[in-house]
Structure 1
Amino acid sequence: MRAMPARARLGYLIALLLSASFVAEAWAEEPATRRTEIKKRTSETLVKLYKVHPAAKAKIGGAYGYAVFTNLGVNLVLMSLAGGSGLAHENKTGKDIYMKMLSGGVGLGLGVKDFRGIFVFKTKYAFDKFVNEGWEGGAHADAVAKAGKEGGAAEGAITVAPDVELYQLTENGLALEATLQGTKYFKDDDLNARK
């Protein structure tokens, strides 16, 4: 078996160091500070979504609940890593549940991607299943369509599971890129534990 090229070794080392820095930064913050930051990012993300897709406000307001995730991904040579945090909100009770997300994959590329995902849950069952059992995105739907002068396909959101729709925002605005393959969503026990 041939040795890994120096460039590939360097790429893996950089990816490992970046992922370690994300984890260290998250652990260093106090839970109250992290909760405040997640709520702030959630509000900012919703404001941005409503600006690029105003109809989303009524859809989210009329839903059983929603979840907002922010994610920073790193793609180096043959490997991609991403991690993020989020907040699931039950509209009827106003209850917030803090969540985490992790993803990884393989593929060619180089760069950093910052995106935000907004899940809309039409039913209590869909919301509870997502929050209590976690969720693992196994589908890779690339219905790439950006809202703008041409409008947004599927009214800006795509269906990713029964009674669950997803909006994804990128730096360029609203995009329908449901790249959920290898992404796992689950409760953040540290932030949900009130001390």
Structure 2
Amino acid sequence: KNVYWSREWEMLGRKVGVTVDCTEVGRGRDVLRHQLTSVVEAMRNGWRQECEGRARTSLYHRQYLTLDLDLGDRHFLSDNNDLSVISWIIKARAELIDLNYKPWINDKNYLCSLCNLQEDETVFHFVARCPVIGNIRHYWLGKRVLNEIDFNCYLNGRDWRRLGNFLREAWKCRWDLVAEFNF
């Protein structure tokens, strides 16, 4: 019968180009289950493509252009990483670390609060260049300064645990210094 939920599924199916015929229940639930699963999968793929397109054309987050969005086996959302590491990886990859660089805010001082390099405090500067946290970077990532290639490799899965632990410790250092010296 043409009940509310069946009309909605058929309408969703038309939006994504999948035929949904709720009268197929008589032929077996597997047919309808397959149709509904196809709708969900098509919607998920469409949503992902839309998000990737928006990320790639972002005005403020140029870092998205260098991210591998199809990490496969290198994905950080796994049982191998604790929640803290996952949280810091998301913040770094999405440029959500609360640093001075916020290009959507006009007339703001974007310079790094910690060092005197006179560089904007971006995620790249924080993770790769700021000399004040160079010792922490050396301990966790093996170098006092990262080049852009190394930075991108870490953001794309070189070693999630090391990067997450570095970010946690570096942020704590930054927080303490800013609080103590009122930057």
TM category, shorter? under 0.3
Question: Which protein shows a greater Rg?
Answer: 2
**Which structure is higher in helix share?**
2
Q: What is the TM-score with the length of structure 1 in the denominator?
A: 0.25
Q: What is the TM-score with the length of structure 2 in the denominator?
A: 0.26
Report which structure shows greater RCO (CA 8 Å, sep ≥6): 1
